[in-house]
Amino acid sequence: MSFLKGLLEELQEQLQSETTSLTVGQVAEAADSERLNVTLAVGVMGRLKQHALAEGRSCSSLANFLIEDGLRRHGTLR
């Protein structure tokens, strides 16, 4: 059984249960990734778009890579 299918079944069981109610936090913790809204300066967003286009990837994908790379360089991720 795939991870996502198992997660879906677990969430469905919890939703059907009268005694258990899910919080937003519980759903977010169960997710493989989370969404983050960031406000960028116009110049930074323009540069991000240019680099993403040049690499043939989405801005979101490039931003994720750059954040991970920055965290690794600062010793937060290993």
- Residues 15-53 pLDDT 10s: 676 555 667 666 666 677 888 899 999 999 999 999 999
Residues 43 and 74 in one domain: yes
Please answer whether residues 51 and 62 qualify as being in contact, where contact means their C-beta atoms are separated by less than 8 angstroms: yes
Q: With 90 as the cut, is the pLDDT of residue 9 above it?
A: no
Distance CA 26, CA 78 (A): 26
From 1-15, 26-40, 58-72, the region with the lowest mean pLDDT: 1-15
Task: Specify the pTM.
Answer: 0.56
The pLDDT value recorded for residue 34 is 82
Residues 78 and 40 in one domain: yes
Residues 31 and 46 in one domain: no
| Residue range(s) defining the domain that contains residue 14 | 1-35
Q: Name the average pLDDT for the chain.
A: 82
The pLDDT value recorded for residue 6 is 78
The pLDDT value recorded for residue 39 is 95
Residues 24 and 50 in one domain: no
Distance CA 6, CA 9 (A): 5
